[in-house]
Structure 1
Amino acid sequence: MAYARTDDGIKLYYEEAGDGTPIIWVHEFAGDWRSWESQMRFFSRRHRCITFSARGYLPSDVPHKQDMYSQERAARDIACVLDAAKIDKAHIVGLSMGGFATLHFGLMFPERALSLTVAGSGYGAEPAQASSFVAASLKAAEQFDTLGSEKFAPIYASGASRVQLQNKDPRGWDEFARQLGEHDAVGSALTMRGVQARRPSLYSLEEQLRRIQIPVFIVAGDEDDHCLQPAIYLKQTIPTSGLLIMPKTGHTLNLEEPDTFNRYVWDFLSMVESGKWGMRDPRATSEILKVD
């Protein structure tokens, strides 16, 4: 068992496998270090892979103060895990909450990111959805407080963008819901209040996003309604980005369609490492049809 210690004294549990160019996997709100098992097994054949539990997620520490949870802190914690593993630069891959942390890591520590994969991210990012997202996050936090993780997990895991996993892979969904039910309820509630409900809108970061030079891969499921438009926005805003929309797929992309997810992320990383993933050709952004 390995732990990274953050600059504010929190221990973060991490595991690693394989050798090669490092990849760090950053889990979603409903996941933890175990969520990336299919990716750890596949990518560790050629890469050094690291998966960790965010603060508030066992076996990492669970601080009981809300001010110890924030979007900025989540991004800094990625850097702390890299420091503990003695890694200068890595490919950063995140899903949902982890995708937000990945993107913010790229903005805060661009010199340490070989690439960014931002999957299933954008819920609550659209200005028109911001207030309802905050309300839903605070309601979920209350449910973790009152019901506890074990009772609330099946409800949360049956959301509109989670039923796709349940329909495709009932056994996998059962494992997903069971693991969610094992989460520390205090940590989950404080993560909802401190990170999810308070994170800045992606649309407020447009100027910073337009300056990104790191290769970025954006992935969304076509039935993950709250993330589709933000994914398109990110594609149109980040000049180094590519976008994949996976058909008949919801939020838990890497669990629903692990083979497809792995293949496309593998192709992306291969293109990055061969120097073939560059900036968008300026000619591809013109809206004027040239006929001469």
Structure 2
Amino acid sequence: MFIMGLGYPSAMWHRTRPALAARYRTIALDNRGAGRSDTPPGPYSIRLMASDAAAVLDAAGIESAHVFGVSMGGMIAQEFALQYPQRVLSLILGCTAAGGPTAVRADAEATRLLMRRDKMSSEDAAEAAVPFIYDQSTPREWIEEDLAIRRPWFPSPEGYAAQLQGILAWEAYSRLAQIVAPTMVIHGESDRLVPPGNANLIAERIPGAKLVMIPRASHLFLTDQPEAAHRAILDFLAAQSAATTAGKDRERAEGQPLGDSSSQNFGEEEKASC
């Protein structure tokens, strides 16, 4: 299950879904206030948006899934893993933070852009964000592809503000040690919006978490370095499948009853239930 970031539509998984679809069923949800989902009155708490993700799995008839969230979506994924641990086969946290006073803040220019977003047109805001979310080595045509995909789904000012309020009010750092799912934390080394120090903080707190830093990649590391990012993600998922198979083989050898044999999912595209 893919969970996108602040104001972004699920369509922005356009590079990653095809890379994983050959091996996994995939679901990409639109958070409330973004994409094709409704924009009810805010604010939207991160916990509320995690419950939306659970509702998407319910609607698709999926009991458990690998969960991959980026940016705000990574916050929702953390909360989902805390609230619904039995539903998380593994957890991938991309370009995200754990909130609270320990979080490493965006640089001053990026922070000013976030705070004045409501005074800019969607087109101007998207272009102004480019230096903060893409690495300088990324081809402009890749950036244009992203902008073309986002353009029909730019969020309303109300939806953007409601999501941002949820981010500012949320904290999970003090609870990260409670996450039991196998976890990979993946981050671009040049991220100015959510500095990579946040990845270190998260990986240090979640038991057994794997940390992957992507060189020449910023906040949108899936666009900056898609091959490197997808390789790391697929390797991590393959390791989880291998561990599950090994565990079942041990159970058979020991004559123990097998655990849940439900299929592994990232899911199929659904709207969040708002």
TM bracket (short chain): 0.7 to 0.9
CA distance in 1: counterparts of 2:2 and 2:161, whole angstroms? 22
* Partner of residue 15 from structure 2, selected from 32, 35, 38: 38
* Partner of residue 25 from structure 2, selected from 37, 41, 48: 48
Q: Once structures 1 and 2 are overlaid, which stretch shifts more, 26-35 or 42-51?
A: 26-35
* Partner of residue 126 from structure 2, selected from 143, 153, 177: 153
Q: Is the 8 A contact 2:11 2:150 kept in 1?
A: no
Equivalent AA in structure 2 for residue 215 of structure 1 = P
* Partner of residue 169 from structure 2, selected from 177, 198, 213: 198
Q: Is the 8 A contact 1:140 1:189 kept in 2?
A: no
CA distance in 1: counterparts of 2:5 and 2:103, whole angstroms? 23
Partner of 1:184: 155
Quote the offset at 1:221 in angstroms. Answer: 1.1
CA distance in 2: counterparts of 1:40 and 1:60, whole angstroms? 19
Task: Say how many residue pairs are matched.
Answer: 242
SS in 1 for 2:27: strand
Say whether residues 1:247 and 2:239 are aligned partners: no
CA distance in 1: counterparts of 2:106 and 2:212, whole angstroms? 28
Q: From the superposition, tell whether residues 220 and 211 of structure 1 become closer, same or farther in structure 2 (CA, over 3 Å).
A: same
Q: From the superposition, tell whether residues 129 and 272 of structure 1 become closer, same or farther in structure 2 (CA, over 3 Å).
A: closer
- Share of identical aligned residues, percent? 25
Equivalent AA in structure 1 for residue 227 of structure 2 = D
Q: Which TM-score applies when normalising by structure 1? A: 0.75
Q: From the superposition, tell whether residues 157 and 73 of structure 1 become closer, same or farther in structure 2 (CA, over 3 Å).
A: farther
Equivalent AA in structure 2 for residue 233 of structure 1 = L
Partner of 1:173: 143
Say whether residues 1:117 and 2:105 are aligned partners: no
The RMSD of aligned alpha carbons is 2.7
Q: Once structures 1 and 2 are overlaid, which stretch shifts more, 110-119 or 177-186?
A: 177-186
Equivalent AA in structure 1 for residue 191 of structure 2 = D
- Provide structure 2 residue ranges, at least 5 long, that are not aligned to the other structure: 247-274
Q: Is the 8 A contact 1:31 1:179 kept in 2?
A: no
Partner of 2:236: 268
Q: From the superposition, tell whether residues 130 and 46 of structure 1 become closer, same or farther in structure 2 (CA, over 3 Å).
A: closer
Q: From the superposition, tell whether residues 184 and 232 of structure 1 become closer, same or farther in structure 2 (CA, over 3 Å).
A: closer
Quote the offset at 1:131 in angstroms. Answer: 10
Quote the offset at 1:212 in angstroms. Answer: 2.2
Equivalent AA in structure 1 for residue 161 of structure 2 = A
Say whether residues 1:259 and 2:249 are aligned partners: no
Report matched runs for 1:1-292 at 5 Å.
24-63=1-40, 65-67=41-43, 69-122=44-97, 127=102, 136=111, 140=114, 142-144=116-118, 146-159=119-132, 162-164=133-135, 167-182=137-152, 183-186=154-157, 187-192=159-164, 194-200=165-171, 202-203=172-173, 205=174, 208-225=175-192, 226-275=194-243
Q: Is the 8 A contact 1:125 1:230 kept in 2?
A: no
Quote the offset at 1:167 in angstroms. Answer: 3.5
Post-superposition Cα deviations, 1:109-140, rounded to whole Å, max 9, x if no partner, equal 0000000000111286553756999x938x63
CA distance in 1: counterparts of 2:106 and 2:144, whole angstroms? 31
CA distance in 2: counterparts of 1:168 and 1:123, whole angstroms? 27
Quote the offset at 1:238 in angstroms. Answer: 1.2
Q: Is the 8 A contact 1:58 1:184 kept in 2?
A: yes
CA distance in 2: counterparts of 1:107 and 1:123, whole angstroms? 12
CA distance in 2: counterparts of 1:71 and 1:56, whole angstroms? 13
Partner of 1:281: none
Post-superposition Cα deviations, 1:135-155, rounded to whole Å, max 9, x if no partner, equal 938x636533x3231232211
Higher relative contact order (CA 8 A, sep 6+): 2
Quote the offset at 1:214 in angstroms. Answer: 0.9
Q: From the superposition, tell whether residues 141 and 60 of structure 1 become closer, same or farther in structure 2 (CA, over 3 Å).
A: farther
Q: Is the 8 A contact 1:114 1:214 kept in 2?
A: yes
Equivalent AA in structure 1 for residue 50 of structure 2 = A
Q: Is the 8 A contact 1:124 1:130 kept in 2?
A: no
SS in 2 for 1:127: coil
